[in-house]
Amino acid sequence: MEPLVLTVDMAGLPQAWVALEDAIIYHAKQLVAWSLGDVVREFRGGWQRNGTRSRIATKSILAIKGTIPGGHFHTPGLTNALLFARDRQLCAYCGLRFQLRDLSRDHVIPVSRGGRDVWTNSVTACRRCNTKKANRSPEIASMPLLYVPYVPNRHEHFILRNRRILARRRAANEPSLRRRGALLTR
């Protein structure tokens, strides 16, 4: 999985997680006011007349010029991964926690009955409950919701999108720490 870069406004408030290519575009357009963190990736371009090769390196946090605090955030896109994270992998009907492979997106009001594919109409359901409910409302199927679906706010979205970022970084650093004898046995 490609690492993501956090963009912030000039005041340092988080705006969005962006792909590496988008981060490089911000650099190329000279929209980066300042950056923090480790270099995530370096991209190399063509050769210049003076014999040097052009390169752009991006760090893990970029402040984008001209952004207004809170001005660029919109409703996060609804994906199964974010939905399952929002609902903590709990089925909205039976209340049990499942592995990702055993989950599905359920529309509270089925799309076939006029429901929309939006956060407030989507819940995590195990495959068994989703099949049992079929294209009926929870009331008609006698399967009441155990929690109310909602749109994650901006801060929740950042957490949901990159919940394991520290765990990945820690796991990536553990072998080198072990070699240096810095980790204690657990």
Per-domain residue ranges of the chain: 1-46+54-73, 75-162
Identify the residue with better confidence: 23 or 175.
Answer: 23
Q: Rounded to two decimals, what is the model's pTM?
A: 0.55
Q: What is the pLDDT of residues 26-37, one digit of tens each?
A: 998 899 999 999
Q: What is the pLDDT of residues 103-155, one digit of tens each?
A: 999 999 999 999 999 999 999 999 999 999 999 999 999 999 999 999 887 77
- Architecture of the domain made up of 75-162: Orthogonal Bundle (1.10)
Q: How much of the chain is in helix, strand and coil states, percent to nearest 5? A: 30, 25, 45
Q: Which of 170, 180, 163, 185 is nearest to 4 (CA)?
A: 163
Q: Provide the pLDDT for residue 1.
A: 65
Distance in Å from the first CA to the final CA of the chain: 28
Contact 25, 56 (CB under 8 A): no
Of 64-73, 156-165, 177-186, the range with the highest mean pLDDT is 156-165
Contact 20, 62 (CB under 8 A): no
Share of the chain above pLDDT 70, in %: 79
